Amino acid sequence: MLVRKKDRNPIAVRFAELAIKVWKGDRSVYEDLKKIVPKPDELEENEDGIVGRGPNGMSVGIPYGLEPPNALVQIGFLYAGMMWPFLDFFHEANKIAREMWRNEVKSGKRN
């Protein structure tokens, strides 16, 4: 009997991709984040990473090169503040980001 692979939530996949971009140091993640965070005007980028404020006013820093699971947490704080752990798609995004990260490390494709 074949088991059908569960369809992935496209939002979870997108957030996992953002976390991978942070780890790779891909500067296009800044523009991507500006499109989804509640306070895009407070988002700033420098050579080390991105700094902004979440919806509750908490300052959040995301240094380029941060491991994907940690980058996803920081993106969560920018996106939903302290409520990010209660959004179901973040749990799925964490699994996807870890899987993507593992595959990239195994293949040696960081950049």
CA distance 29 to 17: 9
| Residue 58: both structure tokens together | 């908490």
Tokens of 37: 């965070």
Q: Please check the confidence at residue 60 and state whether its pLDDT lies above 80.
A: yes
Q: How far apart are CA 34 and CA 39, in angstroms?
A: 8
Band of the pLDDT at 3, cuts 50, 70, 90?
Answer: very low
- Reference 19, options 108, 106, 92; nearest CA is 92
Distances (CA, A) of 43 to 15, 20, 35: 17, 19, 11
Q: What is the pLDDT of residues 7-36, one digit of tens each?
A: 889 999 999 999 999 999 999 999 999 999
Q: At what angle do helices 68-80 and 10-24 cross, to 10 degrees?
A: 120
Tokens 């957030």 locate to 15
